[in-house]
């Protein structure tokens, strides 16, 4: 992998990891409220996919969306401020952790309804088709969403209209507490593309290089007018479904085994072995990411609460 | 002016708006060659092609969602639902997504999407093809709700809807499609949202009615005028935004009000309208406000049964008399 991209991916994965670790810390100290769903362990997917997207390309994200938003160019301060519900947050405190959107960067929004963002991304692809541009629309969702009807409807619609949409299923093994083996009729969700005549592929989501190879293929297909692709990336969430999850459904050993497959450490090892970057360079990136997250947190903590007098703003554009 | 049907008025505005704005497009079930099962998109494909007049799979959640996505990316989709009953299949996209995105995102998303289609009784379509859905969309904040009761209003309100930057539920009535009247030819003719139509002025009783009951209300008013009861008929035209001022001003003048619609009476739109009038004009009221709507059962197939469920002309007249203490 070329150095510039590799370093960007590494920086982004570290920003996500440190942002999420900070979110846990803040949640535990009661600086955050609500449902916070952490992306720790899955960083390779968002960072690598978004390394191939421009601001003009679209994404939709999920309730576990911080990683996607950061990788699509979200400002860490505004994102952290939104987690705290502050006036300076992306949504002025009206959306919180699950609703960060930044249309200027092509982020059409995170979504708290499982599968809810999938057809919206199809609309992004439809827009590119109307405008005749080479934009692509990527929709991130989990293994749970692949059991929703709207997932199949969206695959079918994008397929019959040959739209430049890339469906990315991050299979982290659980829909809240229910293992995929109890909820999902297939071992590899990638095969579900076949139901709608879409190429479906399954790869290791903890391996930057595997994600990189598949996303490039999918983007090339989209830009060549060959239509959508379904990519399934197998991964694992290290934390509970949300910050308050007692996690009775899995063993510590299982979690520890997956931590050994850390996508960040793995990519760091690769870059050093391939001499893409030195240990010092990479450690400097890690430190910078930590500093940026600390600064974002300071910004958020020092930001004002939203004004209750403005609670009725933004229902409509005109009143 | 040209005499047009309600369906033709809708079709002509769609064509004019597609001509003047390349971002406007139409998609839905059978809208292309078929022209929609009620003819509201007839011939559009010949002028605008299959890209801008798109047949969709029978897949409401996906194509409403794609409408939302394309609207947030700068298009102006007009999404046709064959029957408004099918909104329920796409309710997550309509009420959790379209209605909420702008607010949840702190004002960042703009969703200029019109979802249009017809509802109501009149064709023996039974329980899953005859319902009135407006109360759902009035209840959840974030969508404008439009209910044209005449061809000219359909034209003027649809143009306003397409040019509006918010999601709009444009609710037509199947039994109005063939109704005709003079419609302005001006391709800029618009009827503003939030401005009720005082269809007939009167001084004794305010009758607030939607869709089919607007025309019926005028008939009733003419009949009762002969016996000296002067009924003012008001069509709100849009439920969101709602012109409360016109209703309140009217009831302050008449001291009596009857609200009638085809949707279910229980927790229906009429309950909201009656409450607003009671809150704002209580001391002016000479009688309790009467509220008519469909009975709390599923719309039945048989014509006699269907008529037994939705308010009939004689029941409305009785309600008016009741407010007159007759």
Determine whether B119 is exposed, middle or buried from the number of CB atoms within 10 Å of its CB (0-12, 13-18, 19+): buried
Q: Which residues contact B113 (CB under 8 A, 6 or more apart)?
A: B67, B68, B70, B71, B76, B77, B78, B79, B98, B167, B168
Q: What is the pLDDT of residues B109-130, one digit of tens each?
A: 999 999 999 999 999 999 999 9
Please pick, among B16, B60, B134, B232, the residue that the annotation labels catalytic. B60
Query: Does residue B211 have an active-site annotation?
Result: no
Would the ipTM clear 0.90, i.e. be above it?
Answer: yes
pLDDT at A34: 87
| pTM to 2 decimal places | 0.96
Q: Are B208 and B200 in contact (CB under 8 A)?
A: no
B68 touches chain A (CB under 8 A): yes
pLDDT at A242: 85
Domain B2-183, what fold?
A: Rossmann fold (3.40.50)
Helix (H, G, I), strand (E, B) or coil at A16: helix
Q: What stretch(es) of chain B map to CATH 3.40.50.970?
A: 2-183
Residue A315 lies in a domain: no
B146 touches chain A (CB under 8 A): no
CA B68 to chain centre: 21
Distance from CA of B106 to the nearest CA of A (A): 4
> Domain limits at A30?
3-303
Distance from CA of A227 to the nearest CA of B (A): 15
Distance from CA of B80 to the nearest CA of A (A): 15
Tokens matching residue A282: 């990479």
Q: Among partner residues B62, B77, B96, which is closest to A122 by beta-carbon distance?
A: B62
Residue A115 lies in a domain: yes
B101, A109: Cβ pair inside 8 Å? Answer: yes
| B52 neighbourhood in chain A, CB within 8 Å | 130
Tokens matching residue A106: 């092509």
pLDDT at A30: 87
What are the mean pLDDT values of chain A's consecutive 10-residue runs (319 residues total)?
A: 97 98 93 91 98 98 97 98 97 96 96 97 98 98 97 98 98 93 96 97 98 98 98 96 88 95 98 97 98 98 97 94
In CATH, what is the architecture of B197-323? 3-Layer(aba) Sandwich (3.40)
Query: Does residue B60 have an active-site annotation?
Result: yes
Tokens matching residue B11: 């079709």
Q: What stretch(es) of chain B map to CATH 3.40.50.920?
A: 197-323
B105, A124: Cβ pair inside 8 Å? Answer: no
Residue A313 lies in a domain: no
Q: How far is CA A39 from CA A13, B9, B195, B318, in A?
A: 10, 52, 49, 64
Residue A308 lies in a domain: no
CATH of the domain at A152: 3.40.50.970
Q: Which of B22, B52, B62, B160 to mutate to test the interface with A (most CBs of A within 10 A)?
A: B62
Number of domains in chain A: 1
Q: Among partner residues A102, A126, A150, which is closest to B69 by beta-carbon distance?
A: A126
What are the mean pLDDT values of chain B's consecutive 10-residue runs (326 residues total)?
A: 98 98 98 96 98 98 98 98 98 98 97 98 95 98 98 98 98 98 97 98 98 98 97 98 98 98 98 98 98 98 96 98 93
| B101 neighbourhood in chain A, CB within 8 Å | 101, 109
Residue A314 lies in a domain: no
Residue A21 lies in a domain: yes
pLDDT at B114: 98
Q: Which residues contact A229 (CB under 8 A, 6 or more apart)?
A: A166, A167, A193, A198, A199, A200, A201, A217, A218, A221, A222
């Amino acid at each position: 992998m070329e150095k510039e991209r590799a370093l960007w991916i590494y920086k982004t994965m570290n920003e996500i990891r440190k942002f999420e670790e900070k979110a846990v810390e803040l949640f535990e100290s009661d600086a955050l409220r609500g449902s916070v769903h952490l992306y720790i362990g899955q960083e390779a997917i968002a960072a690598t996919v978004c390394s191939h997207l421009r601001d003009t390309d679209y994404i939709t994200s999920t309730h576990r969306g911080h990683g996607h938003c950061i990788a699509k160019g979200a400002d860490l301060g505004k994102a952290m401020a939104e987690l705290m519900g502050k006036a300076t947050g992306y949504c002025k405190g009206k959306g919180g952790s699950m609703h960060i959107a930044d249309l200027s960067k092509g982020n059409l929004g995170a979504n708290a309804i499982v599968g809810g963002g999938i057809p919206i991304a199809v609309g992004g692809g439809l827009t590119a088709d109307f405008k005749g541009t080479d934009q692509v629309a990527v929709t991130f969702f989990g293994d749970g969403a692949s059991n929703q009807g709207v997932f199949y409807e969206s695959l079918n619609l994008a397929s019959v209209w040959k739209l430049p949409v890339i469906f990315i299923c991050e299979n982290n093994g659980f829909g809240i507490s229910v293992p995929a083996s109890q909820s999902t009729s297939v071992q590899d969700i990638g095969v579900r593309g076949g139901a709608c005549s879409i190429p479906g592929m399954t790869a290791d989501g903890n391996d930057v290089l595997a994600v990189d190879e598949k996303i490039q293929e999918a983007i090339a297909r989209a830009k060549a007018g060959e239509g959508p692709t379904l990519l399934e990336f197998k991964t694992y969430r290290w934390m509970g479904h949300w910050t308050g999850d007692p996690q009775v459904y899995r063993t510590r050993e299982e979690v520890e085994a997956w931590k050994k497959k850390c996508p960040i450490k793995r990519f760091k090892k690769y870059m050093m072995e391939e001499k893409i970057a030195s240990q010092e360079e990479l450690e400097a990136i890690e430190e910078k990411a930590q500093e940026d997250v600390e600064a974002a947190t300071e910004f958020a903590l020092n930001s004002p609460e939203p004004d209750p007098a403005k609670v009725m703003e933004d229902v409509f554009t005109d009143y | 002016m040209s005499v047009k049907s309600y369906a033709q008025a809708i079709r002509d505005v769609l064509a004019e708006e597609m001509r003047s704005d390349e971002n406007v497009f139409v998609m839905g079930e059978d809208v292309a060659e078929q022209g929609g099962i009620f003819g509201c998109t007839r011939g559009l494909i010949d002028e605008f092609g299959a890209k801008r007049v798109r047949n969709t799979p029978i897949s409401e959640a996906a194509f409403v969602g794609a409408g939302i996505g394309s609207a947030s990316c700068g298009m102006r989709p007009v999404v046709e639902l064959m029957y408004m009953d099918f909104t329920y299949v796409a309710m997550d996209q309509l009420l959790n997504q379209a209605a909420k995105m702008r607010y949840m995102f702190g004002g960042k998303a703009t969703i200029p999407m019109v979802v249009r289609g017809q509802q109501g009784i009149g064709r023996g379509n039974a329980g899953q093809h005859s319902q009135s859905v407006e109360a759902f969309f009035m209840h959840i904040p974030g969508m404008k709700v439009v209910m044209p009761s005449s061809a000219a209003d359909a034209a003027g309100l649809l143009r306003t809807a397409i040019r509006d930057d918010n999601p709009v539920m444009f609710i037509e009535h199947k039994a109005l499609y063939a109704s005709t009247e003079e419609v302005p030819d001006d391709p800029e003719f618009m009827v503003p949202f939030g401005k009720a139509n005082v269809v007939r002025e009167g001084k004794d009783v305010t009758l607030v009615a939607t869709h089919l009951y607007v025309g019926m209300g005028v008939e009733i008013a003419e009949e009762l005028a002969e016996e000296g009861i002067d009924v003012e008929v008001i069509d709100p035209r849009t439920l969101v935004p709602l012109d409360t001022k016109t209703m309140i001003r009217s009831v302050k003048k008449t001291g009596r009000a009857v609200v009638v619609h085809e949707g279910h009476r229980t927790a229906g739109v009429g309950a909201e309208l009656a409450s607003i009038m009671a809150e704002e004009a209580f001391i002016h009221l000479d009688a309790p406000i009467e509220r008519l709507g469909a009975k709390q059962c599923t719309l039945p197939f048989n014509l006699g049964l269907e008529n037994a469920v939705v308010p009939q002309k004689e029941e409305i007249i009785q309600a008016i008399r009741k407010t007159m203490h007759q």
